[in-house]
Each structure stands twice: as C-alpha cells, then as structure tokens.
C-alpha cells in the first residue's frame, strides 16, 4: 500500500496552519489534497454585527500582509452604494499604498522562496528590501503593518514627504533589477530547484479560476488593474508580466517583474499626483443597496459583496480571497513531483490560509 504522508497543519515547510496530505510511491507523489479551516475567525459574521466604521478596522485584520486591500475593497463598496466621489489626489494615494503593499508581499514571498531553496544570502537581500518598503509605509501612515489609510470617500493621510518615498522606491528598483532578478532567473541552483517543477498548465489554470501571479505564470493575462481599472490605474503606464511555462521558476519571474512594475507605478503616481482634498465627509450615511467590487491584490483578484438596509450596520459582507481559488491547484502541481519539492510547490502560489479562513 502506498503511504499517505500528512504535512501540517503545523510543519516547518508550511508558513501558516493548513494541511497537505500526499500519497507517495517511493518519493514520487501520486495523489494530494489540501485541508483548510484551522484558523477560522468568523470575520464576515462579525462584520454583519458592527457598524461601518468598526468594520473598516475589523476587515483590515483579515490579512496582515495585504491589510490595505481589504479596507480599500470595503471603502469602494460603500462608495458604490452611497454614490461617493473619491478626490483625484486620494485615488493616487490609494495607488501608492496598494503598490507599496504589493512590493512588501512579493519581497516577503521571494524571501520565503529563497529560504526554501536554501539560498540564505538572497533571502537576506529580499528581507532587507522588504524592510525598506515597510519604512515607506510607516513614513506615510505611521504604521508598518495595518496602515489605516482608507475610508469611504477618500484616505485618512496625505503623503507629506514624496521625495523620501521616491528615493526609497528607486533604491528598491535598482537592487531588484541589478541583483535580485539576475540571480533568481539565472543562478544554476535556483534553476535546478525551480525550472520544470510544479507545472500548472494554462488550461488547468483557466479551468480552476486561478488568479494573480499564479495565473499569469501559466499564460493568462488577467489583471484587474488593466482589465477593469480602478482608482488612478487608467492614468498610469505599466506592463503586466506574463510567462507561459507555468512552473515554479515562471512564478518567481512574474513576481520579480511585478516588483519593478510596482516601483514604476509608485514613481508615476507620486510625480503626477494632483493637488486637492484627500477625502469627503468622515461619516457618510449608507443608503439601502448592494455592491460588488474587485481589485488586484498582491496574490490576485479579491472580490467583495456588500449589502445595506440603510442602517449603520451592513446586512451582508462577503469576501473572496485569491487563495480560495488558487489553493485547489496545489494537488495538480504536486502529482508526479518529488515529495522534497512539495514545500516549494505549495509556497509558489503564495498562499494565505489565514486570509482564506478569515
């Protein structure tokens, strides 16, 4: 009988509490399944019992890495129902924070991937760059993790020192293009560990509804910032990196390329940001109605549904995170591979199971 090897829910190869069960013949994986639900927090249930103001603070804690995305989504849903216009300057500030958060997420993931590969020097380079991104976010918002930047109708803080933001972003861009990308794409050790490993075909990515860098590494060109622009993205110039190989190396290349694009977007947003107000009324009333919104989070498309009955407490708050649709692809990528490659394969989707369980 082929042995079933349980990995998780707490295991050195996993960054968060979930479980991967694999069936092996020797060291080759013949079947795999993913089990989640170990970190359920009932955030949607709580959001339907708190006021809109309280929900902004609550939903910011869906995820510690992409916390800004969730306050942006909730604020945009409220704006859609209430018919609120967001000032131009606030839209540009939202782009700066969103792209800085993408930098943070991708650099964190790159560091974790380097650690799993065994490339400690590159791991330290990634985390050094990540530290600079967190310094940018702290300089703008006062916080390094939960930034409390978004509110319905605008943002809470202006960017008071754009020169410092630009200087830090250009340093990150220079190091990424000059050191990080050449090593991660050309180093023999990285290529040996990642090229041809954990392949997700374009058809499988499409059939499973994969999103974000995972989908783009398998040849899908979808990016909400381009296909359904929001905030100031339609006023800015950027590329959507896409690869066709569908392996772990392709996912590394896509995310590394997106780091450069995020730097490019931040520079444009800071340099072309118009003057003016950064928000409307602090506590706008929310009439009865419903709205659905989408944005491109670091891991892919996030979907929010919000329903209001005209009171100060929403009737329904529904959140769909990228990991929800990306995690079913892990068994597809794992079957046929060596069990020693499983930690890197599952990490290559950049999973956030706390975000998924919420």
Cα–Cα distance, 351 to 150 (Å, whole number): 25
Return the CATH number of the domain spanning residue range 39-324.
Answer: 1.10.645.10
End-to-end CA distance of the chain: 37
pLDDT of residue 312: 92
4-7 β-sheet, strand order: 4-7, 19-25, 28-35
pLDDT of residue 1: 57
| Contact yes or no for 20/32 (Cβ under 8 A) | yes
Q: Is 287 exposed, middle or buried (0-12, 13-18, 19+ CB in 10 A)?
A: exposed
| Contact yes or no for 7/26 (Cβ under 8 A) | no
| Contact yes or no for 38/18 (Cβ under 8 A) | yes
Spans of all domains in the chain:
39-324
Structure tokens at 346: 């599952």
* Concatenated DSSP letters of 273-315: PPPS-S-S-SS----SEEEEEEEEETTEEEEEEEEE-SSSS-S
Phi and psi angles of residue 55, each rounded to the nearest 5 degrees, phi first: -65, -30
pLDDT of residue 11: 72
Under-50 pLDDT residues of the chain: none
- Tallying the residues shown for the chain, one arrives at 358
| Contact yes or no for 306/283 (Cβ under 8 A) | no
| Contact yes or no for 14/330 (Cβ under 8 A) | no
pLDDT of residue 13: 65
| Contact yes or no for 147/99 (Cβ under 8 A) | no
pLDDT of residue 4: 81
Distances (CA, A) of 84 to 3, 49, 79, 93, 231: 58, 23, 5, 17, 13
pLDDT of residue 234: 94
pTM, two decimals, is 0.92
Hey, how many other C-beta atoms are within 10 angstroms of the C-beta on 288? 11
């Amino acid at each position: 009988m082929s042995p079933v090897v349980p990995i998780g829910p707490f295991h050195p190869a996993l960054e968060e509490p979930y479980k991967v069960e694999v069936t092996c013949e020797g060291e080759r994986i013949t079947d795999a399944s993913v089990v989640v639900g170990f970190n359920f927090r009932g955030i949607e249930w709580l959001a339907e019992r708190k006021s809109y103001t309280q929900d902004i603070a609550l939903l910011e804690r869906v995820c510690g890495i992409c916390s800004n995305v969730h306050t942006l989504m909730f604020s945009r849903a409220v704006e859609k129902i209430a018919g609120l216009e967001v000032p131009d300057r606030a839209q540009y500030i939202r782009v700066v924070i969103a792209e800085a958060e993408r930098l943070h997420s991708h650099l964190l993931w790159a560091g974790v991937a380097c650690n799993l590969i065994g490339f400690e020097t590159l791991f330290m380079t990634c985390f050094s760059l990540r530290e600079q991104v967190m310094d940018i976010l702290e300089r703008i918002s006062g916080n390094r993790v939960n930034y409390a930047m978004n509110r319905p109708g605008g943002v809470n803080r202006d960017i008071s020192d754009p020169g410092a933001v630009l200087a830090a972003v250009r340093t990150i861009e220079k190091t990424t293009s000059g050191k990080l990308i050449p090593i991660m794409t050309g180093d023999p050790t990285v290529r040996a560990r990642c090229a041809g490993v954990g392949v997700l075909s374009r058809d499988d990515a499409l059939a499973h509804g994969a999103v974000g860098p995972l989908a783009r590494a398998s040849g899908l060109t979808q990016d909400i910032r381009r296909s359904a622009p929001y905030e100031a993205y339609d006023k800015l110039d950027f590329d959507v990196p896409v690869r066709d190989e569908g392996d772990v190396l392709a996912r590394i290349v896509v995310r590394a390329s997106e780091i450069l694009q995020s730097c490019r977007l931040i520079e444009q947003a800071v340099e072309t940001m118009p003057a003016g107000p950064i928000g409307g009324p602090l506590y706008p009333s929310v009439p009865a109605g419903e709205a659905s919104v989408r944005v491109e989070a670091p891991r892919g498309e996030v979907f929010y549904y919000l329903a209001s009955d005209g009171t100060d407490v929403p009737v329904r708050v529904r959140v769909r995170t990228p990991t929800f649709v990306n995690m079913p692809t892990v068994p597809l990528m794992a079957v046929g591979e060596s069990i020693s490659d499983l930690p890197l394969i599952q990490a290559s989707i950049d999973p956030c199971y706390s975000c998924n369980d919420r």
